[in-house]
């Protein structure tokens, strides 16, 4: 082989090797590597090994991803969050997504939680912080004091609704956004309506929680609210059975099942027993939804002071103006409970 042919052979071989290398590099970077649409959660303490472990089940080739990620310095720029991966993504697109921190926004929602503990558990199902971390932040005494809440009233800061969050939102940022939502909810108009009823915001929320527990029928709530406000304005005890149930559970544990309030229960010593105390209890007995809050702010106008469950229309109540009328309604209800075998 003369020198000319040798030179051409070397040039050709080098070119072919270069092409192979280029094709291999291109394939590593730009070939499809994500098998299917999926979502991954990268926690705040994740390292590159953790991310690789998360991605391995959805990648065609983990080694190529690792190579591209290393070249783009991703192992040193990991950002936590909830990320949506689409089928057919290549390594370049995937690494760019993860490096950017361009995670998906989630719709966080909650309603009708009976306590801060249950609320923390509900929220922990939707964002990264666990329930213990969330509860600790919710109960933080300095935060509560600064914002004029107590442990008893803190649940009222959380207005049931849907909110946009990032999955890796910290417990503190979650609490901050809920405080902002609370302040935004309580407009001057709402505060004026509360004052018209001679109630503070905290008292509105507490009374709304009683209305919430008293009736699941949304359309009946303004009427129930009007009844309790009639009692409140005339300085009568509210005499709300749900507050007695709350007091029983506080004394004997949240697992205590109470299907029927007995006469002896009305004597329980508690600031929540509205058969013994006058006025509004020191905090909500549950988380009222917006319809219950609005019912207290916009109550039905009537002269009812008593109500009893309606055995012919479950979920609704029979209202009465006098104790004599109420006693007749209550006797029918008690007789029905006995017939059903509901003794406790």
Which residues are paired to 309 by β-bridges?
317
For residue range 24-79, list pLDDT tens digits in order.
665 678 889 999 999 999 999 999 999 999 999 999 999 999 999 999 999 999 99
Given a cut of 50, is residue 20 above it in pLDDT? no
Model confidence at 128: pLDDT above 80: yes
pLDDT confidence tier of residue 240, bands split at 50, 70 and 90? very high
Burial pattern 271-292, b for ≥16 Cβ within 10 A else e, equals ebbbbbeeebbebbbbbbbeeb
Please tell me the total number of residues recorded for the chain in this structure.
344
pLDDT beyond 70 at 23: no
Domains within the chain, CATH numbers bracketed? 29-100 (3.30.1490.480), 111-185 (no CATH), 200-340 (no CATH)
Q: What is the pLDDT of residues 131-184, one digit of tens each?
A: 999 999 999 999 999 999 999 999 999 999 999 999 999 999 999 999 999 999
Residue 302 three-state SS = coil
The 10 Å Cβ neighbour count of residue 164 is 9
Burial class (CB in 10 A: 0-12, 13-18, 19+), 206: buried
Give me the pLDDT at residue 228, please: 98
How many helices (H) and strands (E) are present in the chain, helices listed first? 14, 6
pLDDT recorded at residue 289: 95
Which two structure tokens, joined as six digits, stand for 49? 């090994």
Has residue 326 got a pLDDT over 60? Answer: yes
- In sequence order, the β-bridge partners of residue 105 are 166
Residue 231, token pair as written in the block: 């009692």
Cα(186)–Cα(188) distance, integer angstroms: 7
């Amino acid at each position: 082989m003369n020198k000319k042919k040798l030179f051409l052979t070397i040039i050709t071989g080098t070119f072919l090797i270069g092409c192979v290398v280029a094709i291999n590099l291109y394939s590593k970077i730009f070939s499809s590597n994500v098998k299917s649409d999926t979502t991954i959660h990268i926690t705040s303490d994740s390292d590159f090994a953790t991310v690789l472990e998360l991605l391995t089940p959805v990648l065609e080739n983990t080694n190529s991803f690792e190579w591209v990620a290393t070249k783009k310095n991703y192992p040193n720029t990991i950002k936590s969050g909830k990320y949506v991966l689409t089928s057919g993504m290549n390594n370049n697109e995937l690494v760019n997504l993860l490096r950017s921190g361009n995670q998906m926004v989630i719709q966080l929602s909650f309603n009708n939680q009976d306590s801060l503990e249950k609320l923390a558990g509900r929220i922990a199902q939707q964002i990264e912080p666990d329930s213990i971390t969330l509860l600790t932040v919710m109960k933080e005494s300095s935060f509560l004091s600064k914002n004029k809440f107590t442990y008893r009233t803190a649940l009222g800061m959380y207005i049931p609704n849907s909110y946009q969050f990032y999955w890796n939102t910290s417990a503190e940022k979650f609490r901050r956004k809920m405080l902002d939502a609370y302040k935004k909810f309580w407009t001057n108009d709402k505060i004026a309506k509360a004052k018209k009823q001679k109630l503070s915001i905290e008292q509105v929320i507490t009374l709304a929680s009683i209305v919430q527990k008293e009736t699941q029928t949304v359309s009946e709530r303004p009427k129930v609210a009007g009844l309790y406000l009639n009692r409140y304005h005339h300085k009568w005890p509210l005499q709300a059975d749900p507050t007695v149930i709350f007091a029983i559970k506080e004394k004997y544990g949240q697992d205590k099942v109470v299907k029927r309030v007995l006469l002896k229960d009305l004597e329980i010593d508690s600031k929540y027993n509205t058969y013994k105390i006058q006025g509004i209890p020191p905090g909500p007995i549950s988380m009222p939804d917006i319809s219950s809050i609005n019912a207290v702010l916009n109550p039905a106008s009537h002269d009812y002071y008593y109500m009893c469950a309606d055995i012919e229309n479950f979920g609704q109540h029979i209202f009465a103006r006098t104790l004599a009328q109420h006693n007749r309604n209550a006797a029918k209800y008690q007789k029905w409970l006995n017939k059903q075998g509901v003794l406790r």
